[in-house]
Structure 1
Amino acid sequence: MIQIIIFSILLISIMGTFITELIIGMLWILKIRKKAPLNNIVLKLKRNTVILGSLFILILILIIFSYFSTDTPIIVDKNGNPLPKSIAELRKVQLNGRQEWISIRGENKNNPVLLFLAGGPGGTQMAAVRYNLQKLEKNFVVVNWDQPGSGKSYYAANVKNLNVNTYVQDGYALTKYLCKTFKKDKIYLVGESWGSALGIFLSEKYPEKYYSFVGTGQMVDFSKTEELDYENAIKIAQIKNNTNKITKLRSNGHPPYYGTDVTWKSAEYLNYLSSYMQKDPGIYNSHFNTWRDISSSEYNLVDKINFLWGLTNTFNHVYPQLYSIDLRKNYAKVKIPIYFFIGRRDINAPISLVEDYYNVLRAPHKEIVWFEHSGHSPWINESDKFVNQLNKILIDK
């Protein structure tokens, strides 16, 4: 948080200095016309130029410092001593010619590997998973992947070149890398929201690489989801007599959206639904701690900016590509066990679509685990239960 504040102050200072330069420059021109002495103006120009240059240098130093100071905290015992078999590191990996970042955390590097697929597209959840699912590190080596176009991997590829296949192929390349690195034949796969769809894509195409898949905040039919979310937002706004929200939603038109403002039009109803869930007393721990996550040690100053860019630019480009996907039709057969961890109060990813998919899904084993006090994010809303259920179905079985 301190880094963000400092960075903001510096940007404001630069803008202020730049504006001052313009004003002084204009005064200089006026004084030239009046043939007035210029010594004072020249001194001010020199002084402000030095200030501006110093600020740029200071920002550069901060960026360089933050780049080399990023890390993920070491794992320690109750006395604060590092666990001898633990692993806690950020690692840059080469995936199909793209440089992408992962975090690796576990109390014992010999434990089974679990790859967590973040939501989005464009989302990064390295810090969020570390905070909310830290207990998962006891029995697993937990790997978080900043997908291309998100967080630390924002520049891995040109956002305009990203497509669904990019994520599938890079996810598979990462899976092979993890199997080789940790000497495993297979790994476990967990995906949330957009990551829950990506997890199904990977499980269906490369079943030999995964023991099982757990989807939470499960996405099924992207186009239908947007339609239902939009209609639900209007219904809630009508109940609350929120005429401004109704007017805004209707002026945006009915989804799905295309073009350059997909993110902002979608955010109009998605944020409204998220706000509604945050105020639901039946949902535990309902607030995302975005500022805590974005200010965590995993991200340098540039990453912090890209944390936000991924959620806007990458989402805007990739999400419309998902409208044609319906797991009920395209992914009705998967050759590994499939589990759905679903929040009973989720109004973002419609529960009816998850139940429809469950009914048509053919898999060696399938199961819905309900989280009665969760919305779209059981891994945050009921994190202890989430960890316990994962241990139960993945370790105990």
Structure 2
Amino acid sequence: MAVGVVLVAVGVARPARTEPVVGSDGRAVAGGIAELTSVRVGDHDFGLMIRGVDAGAPVLLYVPGAPAGSEIGAMRRHLPELERHFVVATWERRGGGKSFGAFEPRATFTAEDEVRSTIGVTEYLRKRFGRERIYLVAHSGGSMVSVLTLQRRPELFQAYIGVGQAVDLAAADLSQYQDTLAWARRTGRTALAEQLTGLGPPPYADGYSYEPMLVNENQAFAYDRSRNSEGVSGFAESLGVPEYSLLDQAHAIGGVVDAYDALYPRMQDIDFRAQVPRLQVPVYFVNGAHEVPGRVRLLAEWNAVLQAPHKEIVTFGTSGHRPQFEQPAEFVELVKRVLAETRG
């Protein structure tokens, strides 16, 4: 027993680290950057992984999807090629992973606070690397926060790539609820159908009531993932990288649950179709062909009325809600194209 306790304690205390950026010869690249750091915005300290072959390259900020999202592992496992073209800053959102300590106070966990934090991290990167504008890539719920940031401070950004772009959470969830309930009834999942019927259609006052939909999403909207880099378990497949201590891993999982409950119900009145008719930067949206249909439909409706210097929707053929990690080679090629088309 004592030996087990010691081993657990050592594992938790094991410091996280990120390896140097190496070239084709396996040696550390002179002038490269590879670090785990933190940045203070307001009253909170946020974890940040910054990596790139050339510290003078364009800067790209990656904003994870879920509240308290943590994608350091997935970025290191699936998208190291981006480091050849950008200084890639992967942000740990408030309450998750290395930003777990920023969760409290719960009362301030709002969309407005998330926007302020995104601006603060962006300003840090601009100042540190001497860039007037940076590239912004965001996923899912992080894409909603990022669009609100773009709307407020467009001068900070060179271009935007929204992956699994959120548009209207309430409308998307209602559509997903209806599809999931129909699937449960069609496939004889009586207990799930009764649970969903008992909850009634969303939106809900707490984050935990969304669990039946979220837990069953991969089955209700199943597709063949055998050709993809990332599988059905999503970000959890990439927790075993040296950038995470065991404590970081626990925070990456547990933080999402509490943050979802705190933030998600407070974002139900956002609808970009009505509230964001215009963006002043080039925008590129990335969907997987197997994305939940309601989300795809809402993006198409917003894109139809959105005014921007450039806008397009790109669809990857074998992926779903996480195409950047499911089809990383295709995603890197897209980001390289965005760089070529927008670099000043």
Cα contact 1:278–1:287 (8 A) shared by 2: no
Q: Deviations over 1:15-49 (max 9, x none)?
A: xxxxxxxxxxxxxxxxxxxxxxxxxxxxxxxxxxx
CA distance in 1, matches of 2:294, 2:98: 27
What is the letter of the counterpart of residue 64 of structure 2? A
What is the letter of the counterpart of residue 386 of structure 1? F
CA distance in 2, matches of 1:389, 1:205: 26
Give the direction of change, closer, same or farther, for the CA distance of 1:281–1:300 in structure 2 (3 Å limit).
closer
CA distance in 2, matches of 1:251, 1:239: 18
Partner residue, 1:34: none
Q: Deviations over 1:77-121 (max 9, x none)?
A: 233211112111101111113111100011111110000110111
Cα contact 2:59–2:87 (8 A) shared by 1: yes
Does 2:124 correspond to 1:177?
A: yes
What are the within-5 Å matches in structure 2 for residues 132-143 of structure 1? 132-143=78-89
Does 2:12 correspond to 1:63?
A: yes
CA distance in 1, matches of 2:24, 2:338: 27
Partner residue, 1:25: none
Aligned length: 340
Q: Deviations over 1:34-86 (max 9, x none)?
A: xxxxxxxxxxxxxxxxx5xx76666544433x1xx211222212332111121
Give the direction of change, closer, same or farther, for the CA distance of 1:212–1:98 in structure 2 (3 Å limit).
same
CA distance in 2, matches of 1:287, 1:349: 20
Shift of 1:190: 0.5
Q: Which 10-residue stretch deviates more, 178-187 or 235-244?
A: 235-244
Give the direction of change, closer, same or farther, for the CA distance of 1:324–1:291 in structure 2 (3 Å limit).
closer
Structure 2 unaligned blocks of 5 or more = none
Pairing partner for 1:306 from 238, 242, 251:
251
Cα contact 1:229–1:270 (8 A) shared by 2: no
Identity fraction in percent? 28
Cα contact 1:273–1:348 (8 A) shared by 2: no
Structure with higher Rg: it is 1
Shift of 1:231: 0.6
Does 2:131 correspond to 1:187?
A: no
Pairing partner for 1:382 from 320, 327, 342:
327
CA distance in 2, matches of 1:319, 1:310: 13
Shift of 1:133: 1.3
Cα contact 1:274–1:348 (8 A) shared by 2: no
Q: Deviations over 1:282-314 (max 9, x none)?
A: 974442354442222122222121111111101
Cα contact 2:71–2:235 (8 A) shared by 1: no
Q: Which 10-residue stretch deviates more, 342-351 or 120-129?
A: 342-351
CA distance in 2, matches of 1:61, 1:189: 37
The two structures, once aligned, show a CA RMSD in angstroms of 2.0
Does 2:284 correspond to 1:339?
A: yes
What is the letter of the counterpart of residue 280 of structure 2? K
Structure 1 unaligned blocks of 5 or more = 1-12, 14-50
Partner residue, 1:45: none
TM-score with structure 1 length normalisation? 0.81
Pairing partner for 2:111 from 164, 167, 182:
164
What is the letter of the counterpart of residue 243 of structure 1? T
Q: Deviations over 1:137-181 (max 9, x none)?
A: 111111111111111101124051311111111111111110111
Structure with a larger share of its residues in helix: 1
What is the letter of the counterpart of residue 300 of structure 2? E
Cα contact 1:122–1:311 (8 A) shared by 2: yes
Partner residue, 2:149: 202
Highest RCO, 1 vs 2 (Cα 8 Å, sep ≥ 6): 2
1:350 is paired with a residue whose SS is helix
Shift of 1:351: 0.7
Does 2:274 correspond to 1:329?
A: yes
What is the letter of the counterpart of residue 12 of structure 2? I
Give the direction of change, closer, same or farther, for the CA distance of 1:238–1:159 in structure 2 (3 Å limit).
farther
Shift of 1:395: 2.6
Give the direction of change, closer, same or farther, for the CA distance of 1:72–1:229 in structure 2 (3 Å limit).
same
CA distance in 2, matches of 1:102, 1:198: 18
Give the direction of change, closer, same or farther, for the CA distance of 1:215–1:395 in structure 2 (3 Å limit).
same
CA distance in 2, matches of 1:292, 1:280: 17
Cα contact 1:186–1:208 (8 A) shared by 2: yes
TM-score with structure 2 length normalisation? 0.93
2:70 is paired with a residue whose SS is coil
2:262 is paired with a residue whose SS is helix
